[in-house]
Amino acid sequence: MTTASPDSISCQVPELAVIVPTYNEAGSVEELARRVAITLEGVDWELIFVDDDSPDGTAERARELSRRDARIRVIQRVGRRGLSSACIEGMLATSAPYLAVMDGDLQHDETLLPRMLAAIKDEDLEIVVGSRYVAGGGVGDWSARRHSMSKVATRIGQRLIRVELQDPMSGFFMVRASVIHACVRRLTGVGFKILLDIFSTAERPLRFRELPFTFRQRHAGSSKLDNAVLWEYLLMLTQKMIGPLIPVRFIAFSVIGGLGVFVHMAVLWPMLQWLGSGAFLLSQSAATLVAMTSNFFLNNLLTYRDMRLRGRQLLWGWLSFVVTCSVGALANVGIANYLFHEGHSGWFLSALAGILVGAVWNYAVTAVYTWKRPQTK
Ligand code: GDD
Ligand code: MN
């Protein structure tokens, strides 16, 4: 039996890892792996699918591929969702010095990979971006609506990173692993825009270049980008601006809580008009319940979009939300009252302290009991 020499061991370390986040891409993974193998002929590569436990069995399909070709690997995350965080996890799961991130539906042109690799090495770049908006690139047949939405998001993105990057929204790029290792703890990992996250987190401007490609038609399955992705984008930008200390979900939760005050008044006022002030207790109770309910649904739709409750879980979620917020309201009133009477704080500060304690309580408890884990559906 011969033992492997150090040299033969070192050449088994891939030079390039291609990270592919997937959610319900069972119909595309095989074709993607086939094309990657062809286009990266002569390169030491590995292909890492990061799947969020897709109900269509993408992870198992990818594992089948990996049984035939050990260069293909699978990370299956259970109870987690999110494109950016999946990419980060994949990038940390390899020892390759170059990392490419690419969609799993074949919309990104894999034949660009060898040119990206050559550019990043030969031109001593830190990151190479597959770009739809430099000469020679394109978006194929997008609807006018998607086109203009992409334009607006791109402008905002360019503002954030203050870099002359034509396509900061691209999800197709190749980066040196050292760049990721240096900034990974400060990435938000929120939403879809991992490239923007990297550029805005890096301490100094990255040496980059954009290579054109044409965004192709989806191979199979359907897009996971819907309208609420815009909201996730805003969350990511906000998180970037307020820093890591305050969780962005708390901000969203508080904004929705503030809206609840308007809902409350919109119910209370007409009820008092109809029933008279003798029915204040009834009206106030009804308004509170309606406001809590609308807050619950808004949070379910926006703040916890990635963990959205559906069907029967909605009922239990609503119930735990109402119970939690009722306790929060008691704490709010109790503390404000104490500060006002015993602590001799002014009415404004007393009220503010009560509201803050109530909000933190509501947020912390519902984060644990109401929205527990991502829903897979
Ligand atoms: N693991 C994981 N978890 N993967 C996900 C998730 C998730 O929650 N959501 C989406 N993906 C995967 C999809 O399976 C696909 O491989 C890739 O991420 C992109 O998702 P699509 O649903 O195909 O998005 P798209 O084609 O509309 O958007 C793409 O184009 C944008 C440019 O307009 C994405 O690549 C964006 O990153 C890109 O910016
Ligand atoms: Mn796609």
Give pLDDT tens digits for 319-350: 999 999 999 989 988 998 899 888 888 888 88
Residues 169 and 293 in one domain: no
191 within some domain: yes
Q: What digits encode the pLDDT tens for the residues 84-136?
A: 999 999 999 999 999 999 999 999 999 999 999 999 999 999 999 999 999 88
Residues 223 and 271 in one domain: no
Residues 218 and 321 in one domain: no
Residues 261 and 171 in one domain: no
Q: Which of 97, 121, 102 is nearest to 177 (CA)?
A: 97
The pTM score is 0.76
Domain boundary (224, 242, 260) is at: 242
Query: How many domains would you assign to the chain?
Result: 2
Residues 128 and 175 in one domain: yes
- Range with top average pLDDT, 203-217, 300-314, 361-375: 203-217
Can you say how many angstroms the Cα of residue 263 is from the centroid of all Cα atoms in its chain?
29
Residues 39 and 118 in one domain: yes
Residues 144 and 271 in one domain: no
Residues 77 and 32 in one domain: yes
Domain boundary (204, 226, 242) is at: 242
Compute, in angstroms, the gap from residue 220 CA to the centroid of ligand 2.
Answer: 9
In this structure, the number of other CB atoms found within 10 A of the CB of residue 117 comes to 19
Please name which ligand lies nearest the alpha carbon of 52.
1
Residues 358 and 277 in one domain: yes
Instruction: Write the burial class of residue 167 (CB in 10 Å: 0-12 exposed, 13-18 middle, 19+ buried).
Output: buried
pLDDT at 1: 44
Compute, in angstroms, the gap from residue 143 CA to the centroid of ligand 2.
Answer: 14
Residues 238 and 258 in one domain: no
What CATH number has the domain bearing residue 167?
Answer: 3.90.550.10
Q: Which residue's CA is the nearest one to ligand 1's atom 34?
A: 171
* Domain span at 363: 248-369
6 within some domain: no
Residues 253 and 233 in one domain: no
Pocket of ligand 1 (CB under 6 A): 21-23, 25, 50-52, 81-83, 86, 103-105, 107, 150, 169-171, 192, 223-225
Task: Name 211's bridge partners.
Answer: 130
Residue with tokens 């691209």: 170
Tell me the two tokens of residue 91: 């990038």
Can you say how many angstroms the Cα of residue 140 is from the centroid of all Cα atoms in its chain?
25
Residues 154 and 268 in one domain: no
